[in-house]
Amino acid sequence: MDKIRVLTYSSNKIMNQLTSYVYVGKEKDDLIDKNRFICIWDTGASVSCITSNIVEKYNLTSTGKSNFYTGGHRESKLTNIYSIDLMFRDDFVFNNLRVLKIEKHDVFDIIIGMDIISKGDFAVSNLNGKTSFSFRIPSFGTANFLNEYDNLDQEN
């Protein structure tokens, strides 16, 4: 089995956006600078994206172009493709990640899309009015709330 890597983020309130921090570089050595950015975890995004803020900070060179659709729009938009390294912590790194460029945003600089989320298990909880979410790679179990409910129901 591959090395298991796990992330868990918690809030003291209900979050309407799942955000965390991530470090970015255009090569692995750049990650040492610890340039931390806010990312949003978006299961509706098929690919991960970076804002023009990151492109400008690292003076990134485009590796190509791609059409993409944003929520609520019927027409595609042409944007640049970039290759970056993304680090959640020292032992949790994605090298040479292909990302699309989006415009600057007030809340976040990176969208973590399904290209990353689908590599493992992702779960969200809002227990006692506090949001927490976890992500692990590789996938090695299924979250099945129906089975948990059935087991609780049989105990009562």
- CATH number (domain holding residue 70): 2.40.70.10
pTM value surpassing 0.85:
yes
pLDDT at 32 over 60: no
What does the CA dihedral 70, 72, 76, 77 come to, rounded to 10 degrees?
-50
pLDDT at 154: 64
pLDDT at 19: 96
- Torsion sign over Cα 122, 20, 68, 60: negative
Alpha-carbon span 18 to 10, nearest angstrom: 10
**Number of separate helices (H) and strands (E) present in the chain:** 3, 10
> What percent of the chain lies above the pLDDT cut of 90?
62
Is the distance from CB of 61 to CB of 5 less than 8 angstroms? Answer: no
Please count the structural domains in the chain: 1
For 92-123, what is each residue's pLDDT tens digit? 889 999 999 998 899 999 999 999 999 999 99
Higher pLDDT, 10 or 156: 10
Q: 152 is written with which tokens?
A: 């609780």
Burial class (CB in 10 A: 0-12, 13-18, 19+), 84: buried
pLDDT at 58: 86
Domain of residue 64, residue span: 5-155
pLDDT at 109: 96
pLDDT at 29: 60
Alpha-carbon span 5 to 87, nearest angstrom: 12
Q: How many CA atoms lie within 13 A of 61 on its CB side?
A: 2
pLDDT at 45: 94
